[in-house]
Structure 1
Amino acid sequence: MDKSWMLIEDRLHSPEYDEGVRQFLAMAQAHAATADQIRCPCRRCRNRAFHSIRIVEDHLFLRGIDPTYTEWIFHGEEDPILNSTFSDEEDDVASSYNHYIDDVDEMLDDIRHGSFMDEEGSNGRNANDNYQPSTFNAPTDYNFDELVADARQPLYPGCAKFSKLSFIVKLLHIKSIGGWTVKSFDMVIKLLHDAFPDALFPNSYHDARRLERGLGFNYEKIDLCPNDCALFWKENASYNECPKCKASRWIASTSDQQMIPQKVLRYFPLKPRLQRLFMSTKTAQAMRWHKDAHVDDPTSMRHPADSRVWKDFDNKYVAFSHDPRNVRLGLASDGFNPFNNMSRPYSIWPVLLVPYNLPPWSCMKDPYTMLSLLIPGPKSPGNDIDVFLRPL
């Protein structure tokens, strides 16, 4: 739809502006949640207030439409950021990946760019001879070419809906949502093998996880002092006792089995996900919204960029604020009982990060909320939370 009418100043005498308003209101009314009211996008209301169609029409003619509201996401248009594919390859490169059975090509593009992979060093656990590194940090045997081959290979001869790769990914997703045990997953795999001998199913759960690790769904396990004093990480990675309280790193055991840490922090690498936001021209442009498209309105606060704290930070750190690509993150955490049993006093604390560079209609959406840490219980971290935040 042509939106050039939004910039016309002579609103009361312009037939183009009149026709643009009519088309906008018709679309807004067709997609309205209620029959009598819609959000008003005028320069004063800016989608913060709901009015009747008649009042919104008066506002658009008397005050004009907000010129920064170019994507009508509150009035029927889809959010272009949420629908972006995060893939901006040239046509000649993209054409070489046009033989996929389903939509896993977007996921493979992320892997090809390294958007999920964190190539930096591990947490240094190998310094202890008695400790076996986590399989989540171990290198995978799957390389990118094998993933591409599985994405192009039908699940069985003549299958046009699932590739070998997409079926395994969907099956692992169902296991996660349904809370299947490893044994039940292996039983389902065995049943599928018996029922469909020509299909390319994985041999077991561990075989499927081997492929999943190739997709980059990994995290780091960092051992933690049982009293929350310090992390056994970097300079403390080889210690068997807490450098502060001298508590043992390991669970006491009389057997010669693998040593088990008393407490483990799970860290989801942040850098690859921030890099991914700049791999698409659409999201890269949205990450500059707070500087390039934000309209400063001293009468209201629509975004953290309107706050005094944000502006004081810009004045204090001029070099950082000069480049709009520098990422500003909001951090939030809260505890919950993962066992669905309130009689058992245990809480786990996820730490979530929100990129405030994005516009207000995107920054708080699920696709941009990043889980960065899982702080173990059984109690809240309290004032010791800074110990857990060190990997960030």
Structure 2
Amino acid sequence: MNSIPASRRWMYDRMYTGRRGLKESFVHGVEKFITIACQQQSYVNEGKLRCPCAKCQSTKIDGVHTVRLHLFKYGFMSNYYIWTDHGEEMANVDNNLIGASSIGINATECETSNSMHDMVCDALRQHGAFDILENSNVEEPPNEEAQRFYNLLSEANCPLYEGSSESKLSMCVRLLACKSNWNVPDECVDFITKMLLDVTPVNRCLPKNYYDAKRLVSKLGLSARRIDCCVQGCMLFYDNDYGKNDGALLQCKFCHMPRYHDRNTGSSTKKLVPVKTMFYLPIIPRLQRLFASVQTAGHMCWHYQNRSTSGVLRHPSDGEAWKHFDRVHPDFAADPRNVRLGLCSDGFNPYIQSTTPPYSCWPVIVTPYNLPPEMCMTKPFMFLTCLIPGPRNPKAAIDVYLEPLIDDLKKLWIGVQTYDISKKQNFMMKATLMWTINDFPAYGMLSGWGTQGGITDKRRLYGVGKVTSPLTDVDTLINVSSGRATEESEKIIQLEEQVRKSREEARQSREQNKRLQCQFQSLFNVVLPLLPSDTQHILQQQVDQQSHDNHDDQQPPPTGHYGDDY
């Protein structure tokens, strides 16, 4: 609380110990808040205020008397030190407040925000904040794409009926969450919506079925793409902005396997069913949404504002790899809003029945590292980008399925226009892939490096080796090792190459000596019977002694980890 302005400490100090009544400082503070809020143009026009209590979360508009009672009963919603929904701008508040709010986030709040209902309330609150900021001489309006999102959110934020705290959007999201969390069939969701329509007197804003709810939520822009694949994993039937135009092909260019199943004779449907399909969830709009919300936009610069000077590694930004990247790419590091990403992938069997044949499905998850440590590795900020289908392990062909993600990473390296609501500015958001998190088999697949055998032990130790990675098409993938480690690893690789060449030369020399020895033995066996017996005995002893000496000289060097001495 030391970094919170003294004028706002009363907000979360509501009651005396033992619930013996409201504190006078809180009552006076609420009256001051009501007075400031009533001076805004929105209250002058409508005569109502957004209620910032812990129950309404600024999603409900009520009269002054109701707002006052809600604040006395429930208190203010969490982290509302800056009254953005009631005419206050971030620039007018002490900058220390931003750091305090970033430090004050804990795991419990992140788990709470994981709730679907809280997510909708948070999204609605951001749109309300934007409306007020827009009326307060905003320096730069949102770009066209961000404005479209805010407009769609505003249209979906109509209450179910007058006085309702639920909107059409929140009901649709809760229905979809019900289907997802408990694997409810589409017909069951249709039955639930029909039951709600029958028992609700005012039902013009309720979704009529599962399709209606899904269509409303899908308008918010976080879409998923289905991309047809070759059944052998050779290619994707996919078009991109870099000259690939394979979306109209009917068979694989490499193995010539068909794209679609053969239709049955006399079938009434004309729809073509693909043999194999993968899902791709574009990463660019998901990163843009982090800057469209006041709750997360301010935290995207945490790594820059909270750098450690104690030498303790508490965040990836304190590591040498992060600092090395900043030195190599100063243009990227100049804007702390540019995003550093980590990628994680592994296979799993989605079917739990023991009688089913083995099936390996590979999700690819991307997470931003700009956020504070308590946020960046939590569930809400781990974005599923690719879902690679089975039934077999993709192995070396995983780069085929990562192609849409790589295309988006190329765009992000150049920059994508994004609206930052915390600074009310449009900027070119860039992103780089810094790390991958996986076990050794997946590490070999993603990097294209060898992860088996003694020769790769020290290459794995220093993170270098033969680079044939599907991700190295992105200019942003760099060596995560420090400069000193890279120099040491290069020396080890050169030494390994010298030892390999010397072993190959020694092997070829032994084979050549063996061939010459066989030829000499054949000639000696022909000539020896023609000589006198005493001469034969002497020559035979000399030949045996020479053969014994050659055998000792041609013993191969001992095997093992020849690099263990270094």
Fold-level similarity (TM above 0.5): yes
Distance 1:222 1:76 in 2: 36
Instruction: Kindly indicate whether structure 1 or structure 2 has the higher relative contact order, using CA contacts under 8 Å at least 6 residues apart.
Output: 1
Question: Is residue 327–residue 356 contact of structure 1 (8 Å, CA) maintained in 2?
Answer: yes
Counterpart of 1:253? 263
Counterpart of 1:63? none
The reply on whether 1:179 has 2:155 as its aligned counterpart is: no
Distance 1:76 1:329 in 2: 21
Note the 1:1-392 alignment, pairs <5 A: 1-3=1-3, 70=100, 73=104, 86=126, 88-89=129-130, 91=132, 93=134, 113-114=147-148, 144=152, 148-149=154-155, 151-155=157-161, 160-196=164-200, 198-200=202-204, 201-234=206-239, 235-255=245-265, 257-280=270-293, 283-298=296-311, 300-344=312-356, 345-392=358-405
1:84-138 Cα offsets, whole Å, 9 max, x none, are: 765552526489xxxxxxxxxxxxxx9964569xxxxxxxxxxxxxxxxxxxxxx
Question: Is residue 222–residue 286 contact of structure 2 (8 Å, CA) maintained in 1?
Answer: no
Question: Is residue 230–residue 242 contact of structure 1 (8 Å, CA) maintained in 2?
Answer: yes
Equivalent position SS for 1:332: strand
- In structure 2, do the counterparts of structure 1 residues 266 and 114 end up closer, same or farther at CA, with 3 Å as the change threshold? farther
Distance 1:208 1:356 in 2: 33
Shift of 1:69: 8.0
Question: Is residue 115–residue 272 contact of structure 1 (8 Å, CA) maintained in 2?
Answer: no
User: After alignment, is 238-247 or 202-211 more displaced?
Assistant: 202-211
Question: Is residue 303–residue 370 contact of structure 2 (8 Å, CA) maintained in 1?
Answer: yes
Distance 2:342 2:106 in 1: 28
1:38-60 Cα offsets, whole Å, 9 max, x none, are: xxxxxxxxxxxxxxxxxxxxxxx
Shift of 1:230: 1.2
Equivalent position SS for 2:237: coil
Counterpart of 1:62? none
Unaligned runs of 5+ in 1: 6-67, 96-109, 117-142
Distance 1:332 1:75 in 2: 24
- In structure 2, do the counterparts of structure 1 residues 176 and 280 end up closer, same or farther at CA, with 3 Å as the change threshold? closer
Question: Is residue 111–residue 215 contact of structure 1 (8 Å, CA) maintained in 2?
Answer: no
Question: Is residue 266–residue 373 contact of structure 1 (8 Å, CA) maintained in 2?
Answer: yes
- In structure 2, do the counterparts of structure 1 residues 115 and 329 end up closer, same or farther at CA, with 3 Å as the change threshold? farther
- In structure 2, do the counterparts of structure 1 residues 253 and 176 end up closer, same or farther at CA, with 3 Å as the change threshold? same
Distance 1:301 1:388 in 2: 34
In the superposition, the TM-score normalised over structure 2's length comes to 0.44
Shift of 1:286: 2.2
Tell me which amino acid in the other structure corresponds to 1:244.
F
Tell me which amino acid in the other structure corresponds to 2:280.
Y
Tell me which amino acid in the other structure corresponds to 2:392.
K
- Larger-gyration structure (1/2): 2
Equivalent position SS for 1:152: coil
1:179-206 Cα offsets, whole Å, 9 max, x none, are: 1112222233333334446423333322
Question: Is residue 107–residue 374 contact of structure 2 (8 Å, CA) maintained in 1?
Answer: no
Equivalent position SS for 1:357: coil
Equivalent position SS for 1:221: strand
- In structure 2, do the counterparts of structure 1 residues 285 and 192 end up closer, same or farther at CA, with 3 Å as the change threshold? closer
Distance 1:354 1:371 in 2: 9
Question: Is residue 107–residue 375 contact of structure 2 (8 Å, CA) maintained in 1?
Answer: no
1:263-308 Cα offsets, whole Å, 9 max, x none, are: 111111111111122234563342222233211444x422222333
- In structure 2, do the counterparts of structure 1 residues 283 and 193 end up closer, same or farther at CA, with 3 Å as the change threshold? closer
Identity across aligned pairs (percent)?
37
Equivalent position SS for 1:354: strand
- In structure 2, do the counterparts of structure 1 residues 188 and 242 end up closer, same or farther at CA, with 3 Å as the change threshold? same
Counterpart of 2:456? none
- In structure 2, do the counterparts of structure 1 residues 4 and 226 end up closer, same or farther at CA, with 3 Å as the change threshold? closer
1:143-200 Cα offsets, whole Å, 9 max, x none, are: 83xx645532425xx5624333322332222122221112222233333334446423
Distance 1:151 1:341 in 2: 43
User: After alignment, is 314-323 or 229-238 more displaced?
Assistant: 314-323
- In structure 2, do the counterparts of structure 1 residues 162 and 320 end up closer, same or farther at CA, with 3 Å as the change threshold? closer
Question: Is residue 182–residue 205 contact of structure 1 (8 Å, CA) maintained in 2?
Answer: yes
In the superposition, the TM-score normalised over structure 1's length comes to 0.62
Equivalent position SS for 1:251: coil
- In structure 2, do the counterparts of structure 1 residues 151 and 279 end up closer, same or farther at CA, with 3 Å as the change threshold? closer
Shift of 1:247: 1.6
Equivalent position SS for 2:297: helix
Tell me which amino acid in the other structure corresponds to 1:190.
K
1:18-51 Cα offsets, whole Å, 9 max, x none, are: xxxxxxxxxxxxxxxxxxxxxxxxxxxxxxxxxx
Distance 2:214 2:313 in 1: 46
- In structure 2, do the counterparts of structure 1 residues 316 and 232 end up closer, same or farther at CA, with 3 Å as the change threshold? same
User: After alignment, is 268-277 or 315-324 more displaced?
Assistant: 315-324
- In structure 2, do the counterparts of structure 1 residues 94 and 230 end up closer, same or farther at CA, with 3 Å as the change threshold? farther
Distance 2:107 2:272 in 1: 57
Cα RMSD over matched residues?
3.6
Counterpart of 2:487? none
Equivalent position SS for 1:222: strand
1:208-249 Cα offsets, whole Å, 9 max, x none, are: 322232233421111111111111111211111112222211
Tell me which amino acid in the other structure corresponds to 1:3.
S
How many residue pairs end up in the alignment?
Answer: 284
Distance 2:315 2:294 in 1: 22
Distance 1:94 1:167 in 2: 30
Tell me which amino acid in the other structure corresponds to 1:152.
C
Shift of 1:4: 8.7
User: After alignment, is 339-348 or 231-240 more displaced?
Assistant: 339-348
